Amino acid sequence: MKKVVLAPSLLSADFFDLSSALKKIESSPAGIVHIDVMDGQFVPQISYGQPVVKSLRPHTALPFDVHLMVEKPESMVDSFAQAGADMITFHLESTVHADRLAHHIKDLGKKAGVSIVPSTPVSLLSELLGVVDLVLVMTVNPGFGGQKLIPSCLEKVRELSRIRSGRGLDFLISVDGGVNNGTVSSVVDSGADIVVSGSAFFSGDFEWKY
Ligand code: DX5
Ligand code: ZN
């Protein structure tokens, strides 16, 4: 069985004590730290930005996947790369020049990810799949932790997996939103390589057996 990587989302951590949150991630089977950046424009809330990423960077060797839920992500990728991001994932819906941006992220020496919200079909990613390192399929509408997974979004994971083998590509597929003890097996079965979990992971009773 292939190895699936757990990526806890810091969005559901207690921001008063990020140090404990990082320790909890470090002592779990996690392979990636998922960092949700929200600008109050692309999504209603504002979370945290480059200075927080920079402060966390020296305290773990785990890679940081910065998930940019922001308008104009092109204005921020350099500073997040400098702050310590290893993977930078932007939304297809937030920029016109997605191909240019994905190449730019790779030119910075980082892994480039593209994400789609539940209403965006996989077909719109067609031209990008040969460029990006990662596709992040949102299984909730972005903006908040603790929402319910939309099961129909998992069909997109299966579709991406089929396209990947058909075209001989090697991007990773990540699933983000509503993953908990009740949904995790359906997410893994759909073909996810990386599974993001926020509220379930930090609630304490999340079981990971992959
Ligand atoms: C949603 C974020 C997710 C979210 C996941 O806008 O991109 O990463 O925090 O949280 P849960 O696992 O609680 O849905
Ligand atoms: Zn996210």
With a cut of 70, say whether residue 156 has pLDDT above it. yes
- Taking only the tens place, the pLDDT of each residue in 38-49 is 999 999 999 999
Backbone angles phi, psi at 168, to 5 degrees: 65, 40
Q: Could you tell me the distance, in angstroms and rounded to a whole number, from the CA of residue 86 to the centre of ligand 2?
A: 15
Q: Report d(CA 12, CA 15) in Å as an integer.
A: 8
The residue contributing the CA closest to ligand 1 atom 9 is: 145
* Mean pLDDT in residue range 168-197: 98
CB 120 within 8 A of CB 93: yes
Residues labelled as active-site residues: 36, 176
pTM for this prediction: 0.98
Q: Could you tell me the distance, in angstroms and rounded to a whole number, from the CA of residue 45 to the centre of ligand 1?
A: 13
Which of 66, 117, 147, 174 gets mutated to test ligand 1 (max ligand atoms within 8 A of its CB)? 147
